[in-house]
């Protein structure tokens, strides 16, 4: 955690002559949100090594290449929603890069869904889906399952012989304080509240390009407007139609979208199968609160690196190293390489 002033001092010292004024840059980013960034505004750098690497790369790259990179990014963001000539150029770009290509029908469907993951127009779509196609009794079954699994995880913590008592108590408190966003935001069941949510976005049947840009601006503005407001741990920031589950360390929060409460993940018919399918995913998300990223955040989602005692951290690292040593010895014969343990850890 740093202030903008400290960040500027660090940048000037560690990076040198990069001609980057953080206060000016951040105020430009937030210019349409009504937020005023000052030198005392707190900023959070989640990965200092990556942050340093990006700034150092910018410093070492010629202005010509940087301008080309920026223009290429603008092209990839806007060309698919533009005229035929630009769309053809984008199709060629996808071919050259080896990317997956989608039919126009599939592309437009993904655009409405704002795939992957973003809110976009998905709350409006979720309203229709939950009203006409979803069995809401599944929500009660999923809530019960989450309660069972968190209770089981607490049981594991109580029996874990390498946790000291202070860390164990805080770990149990973290599980108890973990919240779950399940299905979709409650307010979307009310059409008036849903209309109010989308009242600032203008959709025109004759302006696909403009719709796309306004949709992107709407999503960005919704996030920027949160700065300076009291934290709401229960706010949805991802699509309920995304077929995935998420753990958010900064809020100690698990998100299970409505899309996960359907086959193949969940049927609400045979509990043994459901515990084996979506139950394993729930357990996986709970453990994210205690992995090599979640371990730095406390029960409230505050960045608190010291809540694990040095003794517990050492014991954790011993077991992590053992895991790396064991699985790093597996050879993949098809590519004649050993299993990489960088991403799993």
pLDDT mean over 110-135: 85
Distance of alpha carbon 81 from alpha carbon 60, whole angstroms: 33
Confidence grade of residue 46 (pLDDT, cut at 50, 70, 90): confident
State the average pLDDT over residues 274-300: 94
Q: Please tell me the class of the 122-306 domain.
A: alpha beta
Q: Quote the pLDDT of residue 344.
A: 59
Determine the pLDDT at residue 62.
Answer: 93
Q: What are phi and psi of 193, to 5 degrees?
A: -70, -35
Mean pLDDT of 216-237: 87
pLDDT in tens, 172-194: 999 999 999 999 999 999 999 99
Confidence of residue 17 (pLDDT cuts 50, 70, 90): confident
Tokens 């599980």 correspond to: 175
Closest alpha carbon to 297 in 287, 312, 307, 283: 307
User: What percentage of the chain carries pLDDT values higher than 70?
Assistant: 98
Cα–Cα distance for residue pair 241/183, rounded to 1 Å: 9
Please determine, for residue 153, whether its predicted confidence score (pLDDT) is greater than 80: yes
Query: What sign for the dihedral angle of Cα 291, 222, 142, 172?
Result: positive
Is it the case that residue 327 has pLDDT exceeding 70?
A: yes
pLDDT at residue 345 in the model:
62
Res 117: pLDDT: 63
- Tokens 């963001």 locate to 77
pLDDT score recorded for residue 18: 85
Average pLDDT over residues 99-110: 88
Mean per-residue pLDDT for 127-148?
92
Burial of 83-118, coded b for 16+ CB within 10 Å and e otherwise, reads eeeeeeebeeeeeeeeeeeeeeeeeeeebebbbebb
Residue 220 confidence (pLDDT): 86
Is pLDDT of 19 > 90? no
User: Would you state the pLDDT for residue 48?
Assistant: 87
Span 321-331, average pLDDT: 90
User: What local confidence, expressed as pLDDT, does residue 222 receive?
Assistant: 85
Q: Which two tokens stand for residue 278?
A: 């979506």
Buried b (16+ CB within 10 A) or exposed e, 256-278: bbbbbbbeebbbbeeeeebeebb
DSSP three-state, residue 7:
helix
Query: Would you state the pLDDT for residue 229?
Result: 85
The C-alpha atoms of residue 74 and residue 241 are separated, in whole angstroms, by 27
pLDDT class of 285 with cuts at 50, 70, 90:
very high
Highest mean pLDDT among 169-178, 221-230, 330-339: 169-178
pLDDT of residue 177: 97
Query: Average pLDDT of the chain?
Result: 91
Q: If pLDDT is split at 50, 70 and 90, which confidence band does 343 have?
A: low
Alpha carbon separation from 110 to 20, 107, 120, 239 (Å, rounded) = 36, 5, 10, 12
């Amino acid at each position: 955690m740093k202030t903008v002033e400290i960040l500027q001092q660090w940048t000037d010292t560690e990076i040198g002559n990069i001609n980057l004024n953080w206060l000016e840059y951040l105020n430009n980013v937030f210019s349409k949100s009504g937020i005023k960034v000052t030198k005392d505004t707190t900023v959070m750098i989640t990965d200092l090594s990556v942050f340093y690497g990006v700034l150092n790369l910018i410093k070492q790259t010629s202005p010509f290449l940087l301008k080309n990179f920026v223009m290429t990014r603008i092209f990839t963001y806007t060309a698919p929603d533009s005229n035929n000539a630009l769309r053809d150029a984008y199709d060629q770009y996808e071919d050259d890069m080896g990317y997956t290509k989608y039919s126009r029908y599939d592309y437009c469907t993904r655009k409405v869904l704002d795939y992957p993951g973003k809110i976009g127009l998905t709350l409006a779509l979720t309203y229709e889906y939950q009203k006409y196609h979803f069995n809401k009794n599944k929500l009660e079954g999923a809530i019960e399952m989450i309660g069972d699994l968190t209770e089981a995880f607490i049981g594991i913590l109580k029996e874990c012989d390498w946790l000291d008592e202070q860390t164990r108590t805080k770990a149990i408190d973290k599980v108890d304080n973990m919240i779950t966003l399940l299905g979709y935001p409650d307010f979307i069941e009310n059409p008036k509240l849903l209309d109010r949510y989308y009242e600032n976005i203008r959709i025109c049947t004759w302006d696909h390009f403009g719709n796309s840009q306004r949709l992107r601006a709407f999503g960005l503005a919704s996030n920027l407007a949160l700065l300076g407001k009291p934290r709401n741990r229960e706010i949805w920031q991802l699509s309920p139609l995304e077929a995935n589950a998420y753990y958010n360390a900064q809020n100690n929060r698990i998100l299970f979208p409505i899309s996960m409460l359907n086959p193949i993940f969940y049927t609400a018919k045979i509990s043994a199968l459901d515990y084996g399918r979506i139950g394993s995913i729930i357990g996986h998300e709970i453990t994210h609160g205690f992995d090599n990223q979640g371990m730095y955040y406390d029960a409230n989602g505050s960045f608190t690196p010291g809540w694990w005692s040095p003794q517990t951290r050492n014991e954790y690292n011993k077991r992590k190293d053992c895991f790396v040593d064991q699985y790093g010895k597996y050879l993949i014969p098809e590519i004649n390489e050993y299993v990489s343990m960088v991403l799993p850890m």
